[in-house]
Amino acid sequence: MKSDIKVLKDGGVTSAQGFVAAGISAGIKPDSKKDMALVYSVNPAQVGATFTTNLVKAAPVKVSMTHARNGTVRGVILNSGNANACTGVRGIKNARTMVEETAEALDCKPKEILVCSTGRIGVQLPMNKIGRGIKKAVSKLDIDGGVEAAKAIMTSDTFRKEYAVRVEIDGRKVTIGGIAKGAGMIHPQMATMLSVITTDVAIDKIALRKCVYNAVEQSFNRISVDGDTSTNDTVIVLANSMAQNPVLKSYSPQLDLFQRALTTVMRHLSRMIVKDGEGVSRMVEVIVKGAASFADAKAAALAVAHSPLVKCSWCGGDPNWGRLMDAIGYSGARIKEEMVEIYYDGVLAVANGEASRTPVARLRKAVSKPAFTITIHLHTGTGEYSVLTTDLTEKYVEFNKGE
């Protein structure tokens, strides 16, 4: 095992040098739960960010996309309880006001602030509460504030999601840590997964964006609870160079280590999101190998991960491989039925497109674990893809059917 990436116990978004955070209650949520968070860098930080591909983008996404494009960033203001999505021109004005009020309180420029919202769609933000909340959050900024920030962005999450690692780059200790909130649109009228990750690495903009893109592709873009891409999905990475390592560039040999460390943080945060998916009873990694192309592998894996029938069978611990064959068949991936091989957690279930000789009891045991893999070998090429997903349970339906 590689040990060049060290996990920090209780690490989070304030583990890296020069980052402070706060999480407070602004009264957006009804029950005085924490609902606003602020992450702040004492130095101007390079920023790499990815946003939802949904054409219906929440107002804060539109504003943050502009601010993340150019220049450096000082902070991220976040609220839960209201997604500020489908709120028209007024919604965009409100997102801008959030940014302006935060910048004023922190004595920086509005374009140095990013903004995220998560919660109910289609309702205007309570701007008085937000304004008071921003001042409160700024006054509470603290080097130990990461935990409170992680709590304040939760909606239907049942546990807070934090993770941090440390690596050594050119003799300097570099820390990467972050927070995240629930994936899938898993709460009634709630939307969004959000993640803010901070690092004290010194890195130029191009190298950072490349690393963020790669890490997101290997982590947050490989999880699926219900296949619904929200209007608010946002991942923001701030790098403030306080570790004082020689600035990482695209061609730096050390960039690989930073890339792996960043991917590790994102993979852990995204795994927590899947584990905390509403009503989830099993976590399943679907791995497709030997596809005609990467695109074919991805199509087959996602068809399996999105099939309600497949997900129901996982819920019941039923090794129903016929449904896997069916999903692969309609996925659009180029396949030859008689070449397909399927393993449940390493146990052969399907050989040459037909039932293997494995006793059903053994297959049943493999799929009755709380977490298992499904490996599908198409034997038509070298394309590979994997996705981490969940079962579909009665509890999921109950939770999401509204009142």
**Contact footprint for its own copies (CB under 8 A):** 53-57, 83, 85-88, 120-123, 184-185, 188-189, 191, 226-231, 306-309, 312-313, 315-318, 320-323, 325-330, 334-335, 337-338, 350, 352-355, 392-394, 396-398, 400-403
Q: Smallest gap, in angstroms, from Cβ of residue 240 to its own copies?
A: 33
Q: Please classify residue 201 by burial: count the beta carbons closer than 10 Å to its beta carbon, then call 0-12 exposed, 13-18 middle and 19+ buried.
A: buried
The nearer residue to its own copies, 240 or 307, going by C-beta atoms, is 307
Q: Which helix (H) or strand (E) holds 99?
A: helix 88-106
Question: Rounded distance, CA 94 to CA 389, Å?
Answer: 35
Q: Please classify residue 165 by burial: count the beta carbons closer than 10 Å to its beta carbon, then call 0-12 exposed, 13-18 middle and 19+ buried.
A: buried
Q: Could you give the angle at the alpha carbon of 74 between the alpha carbons of 69 and 79, nearest 5°?
A: 90
User: Among residues 14, 52, 175, 192, which one is catalytic?
Assistant: 192
First to last CA, the chain: 49
Question: Would you call 375 a catalytic residue per the annotation?
Answer: no
The nearer residue to its own copies, 2 or 401, going by C-beta atoms, is 401
Asked if residues 356 and 348 have their Cβ atoms less than 8 Å apart, the reply is yes
The nearer residue to its own copies, 71 or 88, going by C-beta atoms, is 88
Find how far residue 198's CA is from the centre of its chain: 14
The nearer residue to its own copies, 5 or 312, going by C-beta atoms, is 312
Please tell me whether residue 387 adopts helix, strand or coil conformation: strand
The C-alpha R_g of the chain, in whole angstroms, comes to 22
The nearer residue to its own copies, 8 or 56, going by C-beta atoms, is 56
Question: Rounded distance, CA 86 to CA 124, Å?
Answer: 9
Asked if residues 288 and 305 have their Cβ atoms less than 8 Å apart, the reply is no
The nearer residue to its own copies, 120 or 166, going by C-beta atoms, is 120
Token pair recorded at residue 300: 């087959």
Please tell me whether residue 383 adopts helix, strand or coil conformation: strand
Token pair recorded at residue 103: 């910048």
Residues in contact with 115: Cβ distance below 8 Å, sequence separation at least 6, in sequence order = 60, 63, 64, 76, 77, 78, 95, 98, 99, 102
Residues in contact with 40: Cβ distance below 8 Å, sequence separation at least 6, in sequence order = 19, 20, 21, 74, 75, 106, 141
Token pair recorded at residue 289: 């190998």
Asked if residues 195 and 177 have their Cβ atoms less than 8 Å apart, the reply is no
Q: Smallest gap, in angstroms, from Cβ of residue 185 to its own copies?
A: 5
Question: Rounded distance, CA 266 to CA 82, Å?
Answer: 25
The nearer residue to its own copies, 127 or 325, going by C-beta atoms, is 325
Q: Smallest gap, in angstroms, from Cβ of residue 188 to its own copies?
A: 7
The nearer residue to its own copies, 4 or 337, going by C-beta atoms, is 337
What residue has token string 């962005």? Answer: 153
Catalytic residue numbers read: 192
